[in-house]
Amino acid sequence: MALRLRKEKLMIIGAGKFQVPIIEQAKQMGFETIVVSIAGNYPGFLLADKSYHVDVREKDTILEIARKERIAGVVTDQTDWPVPTVAYVAERMGLPGIGYECALQITNKLKCREHCRKMGFPIPGFHKATSLEEAREQAKDLRFPLIVKPVDSTAARGVVKVNHFSELPHKFQNAFECSLAGMVLLEEFFAGKKLELMGFTSNQEFTNLLMAENEHFDLPDLFIIRQVLAPPLLDEDLKNRIFAFHTRLFQSFGAPFGITFSDVKVNEETGEFCLIEAALRGPGGFLSSHVSPLASGIDVVPALIEFATGKRKEFRIDKSKVLSRGAGNIYFYLPEGIVSRIKGIDEIKSMPGIHKVALDDLFLGRKIEPLRNLSGRQGPIVYAGEDREACEEIIEKIRAVLQVEVQTPEGIRGMVWS
């Protein structure tokens, strides 16, 4: 009787819809998947070979599970909170990882800002505050408008624009309540076009893969992304300078491998740009799993898994083969109420150029809460075309075909795209 080989185990921390692609990829590569996340109706649990319901920040509990399961590697993607736990587990078990101190430095917004200031990278003027009194005092050294943000939140929770000093008490308190550490950043607002960048680093070998424009819903003082579209409409020299900065930024963190992500704002008139966010993991919205491969022709998620399990030591990408095709995603939001009509989802799924329709949790009778952060959006829908113009045509078709209505106290209202 032939012996049955036991599969190697890969631990994936996070079970939400944006972690589904890396779970699916791991299974395709022959790994037994051990998925860890807080309990909930998350799709990753349905795919996992084995699941544990643990808060992703409980690093010592997850380390015990990892040792018990004798995992070969540990990863996450498209979410920030698990990054330190992934690094901690890997470091304690002698597995490949980015390093726990590196993970803390980049996931804590204050530590990241301090590192960037030390390195001379372009960042907004900022101060930290742990109380309203401290915030009021620190704000005197900054130029309004400001952005207040918790140092350790995700999905834009607590991130809001403060236009005048009189708005500071209420908006600071909201940000403070979203911070586990009880600490808030006050940053000067930098006006300009918002860009998202993604790359891959391996032993100081770095390749830029994606640059895309990022647009927000037209909501007062909130920053909730409604669309990401590549390639951006940007001067080629300016684009190259921003890519070069993205390279230097992540080389400075010294991670041995990983997907890199940064948000940058650029003033096209002056050519100045400013770092808004940075992360050593793939950007959400299926950017690392779908949008970047569609735009660049390079899929780095398999390489990430191979690095994390010790099967790969380097990853050299032929930069001449990195494409710049059109690709992106689009979201909409719904007014507060009860979903009463849905039409067009199946038609969209069959449309040329559509690669992912993440609307499985949209159903008749669903209660819609007010939109407060990224998790309240509907979608995304991922699309790709030969160029930007082709993508814009696809977007128009999506908006024309998809119809969702909500029963509100004011009557029937539809979806909001902008």
In tens, the pLDDT along 98-107 reads 999 999 999 9
**How many domains would you assign to the chain?**
4
Instruction: Give the domain-ending residue among 74, 95, 116.
Output: 95
Instruction: Give the domain-ending residue among 95, 114, 133.
Output: 95
For CA atoms 128, 134, 140, 141, the dihedral sign is: negative
Percentage of the chain surpassing pLDDT 70? 99
Q: Are residues 249 and 271 in the same domain?
A: yes
Q: Are residues 312 and 261 in the same domain?
A: yes
CB proximity list for 357: less than 8 A, separation 6 or greater: 345, 348, 349, 381, 382
Average pLDDT of the residues in 83-104: 98
Tell me the per-residue pLDDT of 394-408, one tens digit each, with 9 for 90 and over.
999 999 999 999 999
In angstroms, rounded to a whole number, what is the distance separating the alpha carbons of residues 13 and 372?
25
Burial 258-280 (b: 16+ CB within 10 A, else e): bbbbbbbbbeeeeeebbbbbbbb
Flag whether 257 is in a domain.
yes
Q: Are residues 287 and 355 in the same domain?
A: no
- Here the CATH number for the domain that contains residue 156 is 3.30.1490.20
Q: Binning pLDDT at 50, 70 and 90, where does residue 257 land?
A: very high
pTM (predicted TM-score): 0.94
Tell me the per-residue pLDDT of 138-181, one tens digit each, with 9 for 90 and over.
999 999 999 999 998 877 888 999 999 999 999 999 999 999 88
- Here the CATH number for the domain that contains residue 17 is 3.40.50.20
Range with the lowest mean pLDDT among 49-58, 111-120, 147-156, 182-191? 147-156
Instruction: Give the domain-ending residue among 274, 306, 324.
Output: 324
Tell me the per-residue pLDDT of 236-251, one tens digit each, with 9 for 90 and over.
999 999 999 999 999 9
- Here the CATH number for the domain that contains residue 281 is 3.30.470.20
Q: Are residues 206 and 320 in the same domain?
A: yes
What's the gap between Cα 131 and its chain centre? 28
Would you list the DSSP string of 253-276?
A: HT-SEEEEEEEEEE-TTT--EEEE
Q: Are residues 212 and 316 in the same domain?
A: yes
In angstroms, rounded to a whole number, what is the distance separating the alpha carbons of residues 255 and 131?
34
- In this prediction, residue 1 carries a pLDDT of 43
Flag whether 108 is in a domain.
no
In angstroms, rounded to a whole number, what is the distance separating the alpha carbons of residues 214 and 400?
22
Average pLDDT of the residues in 192-196: 97
Q: Are residues 72 and 166 in the same domain?
A: no
Q: Are residues 67 and 170 in the same domain?
A: no
Q: Are residues 303 and 339 in the same domain?
A: no
In angstroms, rounded to a whole number, what is the distance separating the alpha carbons of residues 111 and 151?
9
Q: Are residues 408 and 348 in the same domain?
A: yes
Tell me the per-residue pLDDT of 32-62, one tens digit each, with 9 for 90 and over.
999 999 999 999 999 999 999 999 999 999 9
Judge whether residue 96 has pLDDT over 90: yes
Flag whether 112 is in a domain.
no
Q: Are residues 33 and 81 in the same domain?
A: yes
Would you list the DSSP string of 346-373?
A: HHHHTSTTEEEE--TT--TTPEEPPP-S
- In this prediction, residue 216 carries a pLDDT of 96
Burial 173-194 (b: 16+ CB within 10 A, else e): ebbbebbeeebbbbbbbbebbb
Flag whether 109 is in a domain.
no
Across the chain, what does the average pLDDT equal?
A: 95
Helix residue ranges per DSSP H, 15-80: 20-28, 43-47, 59-69
Domain that holds residue 166: 125-188
Tell me the per-residue pLDDT of 328-343, one tens digit each, with 9 for 90 and over.
999 999 999 999 999 9
Cβ 387 vs Cβ 311: under 8 Å: no
Flag whether 116 is in a domain.
no
- In this prediction, residue 316 carries a pLDDT of 87
Tell me the per-residue pLDDT of 1-40, one tens digit each, with 9 for 90 and over.
444 568 999 999 999 999 999 999 999 999 999 999 999 9
First to last CA, the chain: 63
How would you class 407 by CB atoms within 10 Å of its CB: exposed for 0-12, middle for 13-18, buried for 19 or more? middle
Cβ 187 vs Cβ 124: under 8 Å: yes
Flag whether 2 is in a domain.
no
Flag whether 4 is in a domain.
no
In angstroms, rounded to a whole number, what is the distance separating the alpha carbons of residues 304 and 282?
10
